Amino acid sequence: MTEGSDRTEVDDHAPAQREPRQSVLLSATLERFGSVETTKHRVRDLSPQGMRIEQAAGLQVGATVLVAVGQLEAVGSTIVWIKEGSAGVKFAKAIDPDQARGKAAVRPKANILPRLGKQRGATTGWVADLDNPYRK
């Protein structure tokens, strides 16, 4: 490079500049395309473009996966590197890291909901009248 040269030129062989990653400890669920099986992984680093996960056994570089982290569901992603039990995951489109850090809502099972309305507590003895405002 000569003195005074313009540094705005893009070198195709230079590594891409990435956003700073935030150190986190989250849980992610990965689903491989063509498989109904999901796997759980620990997320260690997170940025809008990607994340580093642990427990990467069985993953392959170039594999396309769906990732769910926190309140984010089904984000298309690609495994870009694997090293010493960790893997780099690149999101197909940028995410909101704050939303990924949010707790996922726990949905009750569908068969539990009808029973909740039918439960009345005790039905025999004096305890059954405990909630009755007109009891003697």
Output the average pLDDT for the chain: 76
Domains and CATH numbers, the chain: 22-105 (2.40.10.220)
Report which of residues 134 and 39 the model is more confident about: 39
CA pair distance 99, 97, nearest whole angstrom: 5
| pLDDT per residue as tens digits for the range 74-122 | 899 999 999 999 999 999 999 988 888 877 655 544 444 444 444 555 5
**What's the pTM value of the predicted model, to 2 decimals?**
0.62
Report which of residues 110 and 133 the model is more confident about: 133
pLDDT score, position 23: 83
